[in-house]
């Protein structure tokens, strides 16, 4: 008679005089080395992309009040931070400009000598081997905080004018040295507009990371503080729900990702990460593309705030959260915790 793994030792003993269960999963959890031996997913510094805010109005770094440990960098201090990222063996950064020259269309971001141009050039000049990703959007550069110029007739963002401008922005970033353009506005047709513009200007080698499934989320608040892109009073819609995705939808995310891949995306992203692990899993399983998760500001700050109140162990919770993205299928993670996580991994391996 075969022993049942679901019976207690006493029940099995009654059947065959044995006190052993057929299956004891705890055998493979008996020590740290045993757990390491059978571990299914691992974090590496290779998995991380570090987001950086560059504020042209600053002369030195200033901590973001709502994001402990995250600083707006000056253009000069950017070089110092990039060398720290490189030393930590984090392979990539994503640059966000904090503009002091805002207007209705965000024109500073698509002109030579503007902040986008300057910060990307500085990054590549400082660390030529670092992968530099340029966030391509307009919320940091417009005076109303939306992700493109407004159509005042419909009180919404003008999709087609936005993608026309984002093509110009992509060319500026690519010619400044950006390795990757990462458009985050969720405008229809933005990937095709960028790919066409890059190819026509001799920038075929520049890759595109599509914010393919970006949700209208309550987890972005600290980012908007850091990037200076909170919505203005009375200009345009009161939120971004007419262009970012509805949190209730998952099939729509698959359609959005498929569109971006068809239009020329080299990599795709799900944002936010933690509340959308199901989407991340579906995207990776469906398309098999290089797939990234954005560990957004609200997720990062939840752990920081809870740790400061003594409610949890910050390092343990942070690493568990990052590992969840890998387990769900992420090939990489954009995270403000990249340098802290790299330090923990280095200490674990010493």
pLDDT tens readout for residues 195-218: 999 999 999 999 999 999 999 999
All domains in the chain, ordered by first residue: 46-349 (3.20.20.70)
N-to-C CA span, the chain: 50
Catalytic residue status for 168: no
**Residue 257: which of 222, 210, 295 has the closest Cα?**
210
Q: Looking at 7, 241, 271, 284, which residue is catalytic?
A: 271
CA-based torsion, 70, 72, 74, 78: positive or negative: positive
Note whether 135 and 49 are within 8 A (CB). no
pLDDT at 13: 54
The pLDDT value recorded for residue 6 is 55
- pLDDT value at position 253? 98
Spans of the chain below 70 pLDDT = 1-20, 232-234
- What are the tens digits of pLDDT across the range 241-252? 999 999 999 999
pLDDT in the model for residue 1: 45
Q: What is the pLDDT of residue 18?
A: 56
Q: Give me the torsion for CA of 194, 200, 206, 208, rounded to 10°.
A: 20
Is 282 within 8 Å of 223 (Cβ atoms)? no
Q: Strand (E) positions, 62-152?
A: 62-63, 71-73, 92-98, 131-136, 150-151
Please pick, among 102, 214, 304, 326, the residue that the annotation labels catalytic: 214
User: Which residues share a beta bridge with 133?
Assistant: 94, 180
CA distance 232 to 132: 30
pTM for the structure as a whole: 0.92
Chain position carrying tokens 């509805």: 246
214 is catalytic: yes
Q: What is the pLDDT of residue 340?
A: 97
For position 4, what pLDDT does the model report?
Answer: 56
Residue 192 sits at the vertex; the CA angle it makes with 188 and 198, to the nearest 5 degrees, is 135
């Amino acid at each position: 008679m075969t022993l049942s793994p679901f019976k207690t030792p006493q029940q099995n003993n009654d059947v065959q005089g044995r006190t052993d269960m057929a299956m004891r999963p705890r055998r493979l959890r008996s020590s740290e080395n045993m757990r390491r031996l059978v571990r299914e997913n691992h974090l590496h510094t290779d998995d991380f992309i570090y987001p950086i805010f560059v504020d042209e109005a600053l002369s030195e770094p200033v901590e973001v009040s709502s994001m402990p440990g995250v600083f707006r960098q000056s253009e000069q201090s950017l070089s110092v931070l990039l060398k720290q990222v490189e030393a930590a063996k984090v392979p990539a950064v994503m640059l966000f400009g904090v503009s002091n020259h805002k207007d209705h269309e965000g024109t500073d971001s698509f002109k030579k000598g503007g902040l986008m141009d300057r910060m990307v050039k500085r990054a590549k000049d400082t660390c030529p081997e670092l992968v530099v990703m340029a966030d391509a959007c307009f919320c940091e550069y417009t005076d109303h905080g939306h992700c493109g110029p407004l159509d005042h007739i419909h009180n919404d963002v003008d999709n087609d004018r936005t993608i026309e401008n984002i093509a110009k922005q992509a060319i500026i970033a690519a010619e400044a040295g950006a390795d990757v353009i990462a458009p985050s506005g969720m405008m229809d047709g933005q990937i095709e507009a960028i790919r066409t513009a890059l190819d026509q200007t001799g920038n075929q080698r520049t890759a595109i990371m599509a914010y393919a499934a970006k949700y209208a989320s309550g987890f972005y608040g600290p980012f908007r503080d850091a990037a200076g892109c909170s919505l203005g009073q009375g200009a345009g819609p009161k939120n971004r729900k007419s262009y970012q995705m509805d949190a209730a939808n998952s099939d729509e995310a698959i359609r959005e990702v498929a569109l971006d891949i068809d239009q020329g995306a080299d990599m795709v992203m799900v944002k936010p990460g933690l509340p959308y692990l199901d989407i991340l899993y579906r995207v990776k399983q469906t398309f098999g593309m290089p797939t990234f998760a954005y560990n957004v500001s609200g997720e990062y700050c939840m752990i920081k705030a809870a740790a400061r109140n003594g409610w949890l162990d910050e390092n343990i919770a942070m690493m568990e959260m990052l590992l969840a993205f890998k387990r769900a299928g992420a090939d990489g993670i954009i995270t403000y915790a990249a340098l802290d996580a790299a330090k923990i991994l280095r200490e674990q391996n010493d």
